Amino acid sequence: MEIADKHRGETVNASVVLKPGESATDEETFTFCRGKLVAYKVPKIVEFRETLPKSAVGKVLPKILRDEEEAKRKS
């Protein structure tokens, strides 16, 4: 998901939910993404979460994720 950035305009942010019992680090996530994505799509920020906000039909709500990230940056 993209988030606003003063210097670049937008920066890619990854919100990751791990399966129960699994673990990962930021660096492992970056390495995985570098192997699968073109350079401009590799996230600059990785956030591990328990859950993602979803609609009643189960779709992820990116606007809520963006709003939460902007609120964190302002505080």
Helical ranges in the chain per DSSP H: 26-36, 62-74
> Among residues of the chain, what percentage have pLDDT more than 70?
88
Task: Delineate the domains of the chain, giving CATH numbers in brackets.
Answer: 2-74 (3.30.300.30)
- DSSP structure class, residue 40: G
Distance CA 44, CA 4 (A): 12
Distance CA 46, CA 48 (A): 7
Weakest-pLDDT range from 3-12, 13-22, 23-32: 3-12
Please, what is the Cα angle at 23 between 22 and 27, to 5 degrees? 145
pLDDT tens figures, 32-45: 999 999 998 999 98
Task: Choose among 66, 60, 63, 59: nearest CA to 45.
Answer: 66
